[in-house]
Amino acid sequence: MEDFLKILCYSFLSGITVFLGGLLSALFEKYFRAGIIKEEIIHTSVAFGGGIIFAAVAFVLVPKGINELSLTPIVLIFLSGSLSFFFLDRYIENKGGTISQLLAMLMDFIPEAIALGAVFAVDHNLGLLLAIFIGLQNFPESFNSYIDLRSSGYTSKTCLLILFFLSFSGVFAAISGNLLLSSMPQLTASLMLFSSGGILYLIFQDIAPMSKLQKSWFPALGVNFGFLVGMVGQKLLG
């Protein structure tokens, strides 16, 4: 029972940053004066979030997936994720919207939350560090997701409600991982590789181009800082 409560607590704290990042983005949108500085902050934030998501793929999702599966499933599952989100992204764009940041955040957040619940059964310290890493990732990613949703025509209130309810998805993912997948590492690995394929497609198709700002070179450094955060997190995770 104590372990269950800890998983509940850790996954909630790591997930609530989804809502907090969106709330900060809403305040930024409302109170920060429009201009080149605001544009640079937005584009740098997009790049920073992209760097963190890329680090999650490089250091967490792909390595854990490769360790558990043989070559043929690795290729098939990774390509399935890539193609699935290729078609999904095209469908959303044809409908006149763009939620690539939100999709990438969820494809990063959910598998890692599942892993949090799964590893907690064998290593509490690793579970705690993973929860901290997830929480740090979610904050800039949800900041950008709010901007993404707003650009698709959603009201500020609707965006915050979406992010509020999504912040609790990590709790259900962590509990499911602990109860159902702690003894099924190959299924967890498959989910991570599927997500990796989709995330990489979204990064280079949508997120990286959005971080570009004409006659400004600073935003591109956001990728490096975001990736650095991922490196530090992976070092702490051991």
Enter the pTM of the model.
0.78
User: Position 217: which residue type?
Assistant: W
CA atoms within 13 A on the CB side of 144: 33
CA distance 104 to 53: 7
Dihedral of alpha carbons 78, 62, 93, 219, sign: negative
Over residues 9-26, the mean pLDDT reads 92
| Cα radius of gyration rounded to whole Å, the chain | 17
pLDDT band at 156 (very low <50, low <70, confident <90, very high): very high
DSSP H helical ranges for the chain = 2-31, 36-56, 62-68, 71-94, 100-120, 124-151, 156-166, 169-176, 185-202, 208-211, 221-237
User: Position 175: which residue type?
Assistant: I
Among 48-62, 150-164, 189-203, the range of highest mean pLDDT = 150-164
